[in-house]
Amino acid sequence: MGSDIFHFDLEPSDVDRVRVEHAYMIARRGWPIEADIGLDDSGRRIVCRIDEPGGLANSAALVLQVELPGIGNLKLRTTLLPPRAEPYDLMLELARERMRHFLHKCEDWQMFAPGIAIEAFARFEQGRARLAEAVLAPDRASEVALAREAVVAAVQAGEMLARNYADGLLHARYGASAASETALGFRVDPRVPPPAEDLPEFREFGVVMIETPWNVVQPEQGRFEFECIDLWIDWARRHQRPVLLGPLVDLRPEAIPEWARSARDDYSSFCRLIWEHQEQVVARYAEHVAIWCVASGVHVNRFAPLTHEQMIDLTRRSAVLVRQARRSAKVLVELVQPFDDQVGQFRDSVRGYEYAVRALDEGVHIDCFGLCFECGLNRNGSEARDLLSFSDAIDGMGRLDRPMMITGFCAPAGSDEPEAGSWIEPWTPERQANWASTMFGIILGKMTHRGDTARGARVGVVESVLWSRFQESEGEPPLGLLDATGAPRRVLAQLAAVRRVIRRPIGRSAGRQSPLANHSEGARK
């Protein structure tokens, strides 16, 4: 067994800016690679080792957290690099990749025309000048300082570009027609009861996703408890909100009941236990649900070691079950880890996009896909990233030939964990609200040609956007629209205000200011 080894040198001033706890490597086409990543004994060099049969030399990129003034503490990646004995300069390679990414998205979005995204291109040119100076710098300290400036400028330019692109398509999408009633919604953990009072902001949230955690619904084998879900179903019916229920298959370790864990290595036995849980849930709520989330994250083997065939089999079984109960039932499959951070960590995991394509190719009935992403949390795959990276990830999933829903997105109202990262500045209630409204605009500002419309007008990529937490519980990260006491957070009012803007047509004028300009914040210079 040979190894490919990559070295990245750090300046003393960069040691505290970089975190490698959740670092990983990716190959061409974005495939995650299992790698051993850490600092050497000096603490000033990152060593990445990829075990390969025969020591085959393959290009790879390093993804890790970097904190820089002006952009926050973000997960960034280097360019694709071949393994070599001589160390690479980390900041220089990060800057090169950000420049490449900006130009790639300009081409993808056809935004090279003069007059489009003027400020974004001006900031990009500043970054490109700094990168050129860094390459020609007379000493390493100057090179690294200039490369840092190039990284910051390129990230800021990318965020401006993402906002400019979204603003143009928001006018195209909602210029002559208003957004649907279900454009905005929220997701609930049923263990948190429905609100006692009907806040006016909730009128802007037109759809609710009610989770069905296996360990909550079936705490003991043979015993089912539906009371908490019943309360939310009744609340949704009283307020005339369509319900998205599930996931029916949720293999996160924290969602698996203790009594079922021993069957994890026996697929047949494990499947029978899941089937029993699903049948009870579907039989009880078949007449009340608009869309069923039949599976979530089965492509990442965090708990049960599934083969690719078993992933598809589980998804198919769940889709068939809900359609047998009600022929008109809509089927949604939720994809997690949009950046595939953990795919290389868990054996036989597969990227969400490849799993989705294979499920469609094998004839699984799927009406739409859900995409779930978090920002600013200390979980591998949920650390803070920049707006261009999120926008690019949605583009990738949006190429699937099905409508999409964002079935959960969130950022915290505060965090004291450096590993969680930050966007521009440390997280606060205001920062959370600004991030949420900015991302809401970027998500809805996505259009594509799909199916029968391939030669006609573009349609929206994302049909609905759901905030991940209605209300947090005591001791949880501050992610909710309501805090643990039931008090509304600023993010509730901000999302409601943005949703209110697109309740009516906003006009098509290309020179118009962004319809969300008064409710969100762009990247800072």
Q: Which of 340-344, 452-456, 475-479 has the lowest mean pLDDT?
A: 452-456
CA distance 45 to 86: 12
pLDDT value at position 177?
A: 92
The DSSP call for residue 260 is G
| Helix pair 90-109, 118-135: axis angle to 10 deg | 150
Confidence band for 378, pLDDT divided at 50, 70 and 90? very high
Single residue among 113, 146, 169 that ends a domain in this structure: 169
Per residue in 116-140, pLDDT tens? 899 999 999 999 999 999 999 999 9
133 and 206 assigned to the same domain: no
CA distance 509 to 149: 36
Residue whose pair of structure tokens reads 């490698």 in the numeric block: 20
- Is 514 within the bounds of a domain? no
Of 465, 363, 458, nearest to 404 by C-alpha is 465
For residues 324-338, average pLDDT: 95
pLDDT value at position 344?
A: 83
- Is 134 within the bounds of a domain? yes
Single residue among 127, 143, 169 that ends a domain in this structure: 169
pLDDT value at position 524?
A: 41
- Is 519 within the bounds of a domain? no
- Is 338 within the bounds of a domain? yes
Distance between the two ends of the chain, CA-based, in angstroms? 48
**CA distances (Å), origin 339, targets 28, 42, 280:** 14, 31, 34
Per DSSP bridges, beta strands 207-210 and 45-52 are: unpaired
Single residue among 169, 185, 210 that ends a domain in this structure: 169
109 and 191 assigned to the same domain: no
165 and 182 assigned to the same domain: no
Query: For the domain that residue 262 is a member of, what is the CATH number?
Result: 3.20.20.80
Count of domains in the chain? 2
160 and 196 assigned to the same domain: no
What is the overall mean pLDDT for the chain?
Answer: 92
pLDDT value at position 449?
A: 77
Per residue in 18-41, pLDDT tens? 999 999 999 888 888 889 999 999
Residue 57 has pLDDT above 60, yes or no: no
303 and 159 assigned to the same domain: no
Q: Which two tokens stand for residue 331?
A: 């089927």
Residue 432 has pLDDT above 50, yes or no: yes
Neighbours of 281 (CB within 10 A): 23
Per residue in 481-514, pLDDT tens? 999 999 999 999 999 999 999 999 988 655 455 6
Residue 515 has pLDDT above 90, yes or no: no
Listed in sequence order, the residues at least 6 apart from 486 whose beta carbon sits closer than 8 Å to its beta carbon are: 195, 196, 471
Confidence band for 522, pLDDT divided at 50, 70 and 90? very low
Per residue in 210-253, pLDDT tens? 999 999 999 999 999 999 999 999 999 999 999 999 999 999 99
Quote the Cα angle for 379-385-388, to 5°: 150
Residue 523 has pLDDT above 50, yes or no: no
CA distance 391 to 375: 13
147 and 245 assigned to the same domain: no
**CB contact burial 221-230 (16+ within 10 A = b; e otherwise):** eeeeebebbe
156 and 186 assigned to the same domain: no
Amino acid at position 511, single letter: G
162 and 300 assigned to the same domain: no
DSSP secondary structure, 113-163, as one string: STTSSHHHHHHHHHHHHHHHHHHT-SSHHHHHHHHHHHHHHHHHHHHHHHH
- Is 117 within the bounds of a domain? yes
87 and 206 assigned to the same domain: no
- Is 357 within the bounds of a domain? yes
pLDDT value at position 470?
A: 96
133 and 257 assigned to the same domain: no
448 and 422 assigned to the same domain: yes
- Is 63 within the bounds of a domain? yes
- Is 509 within the bounds of a domain? no
Domain of residue 419 covers: 176-501
- Residue pair 522/159 in contact (Cβ under 8 Å)? The answer is yes
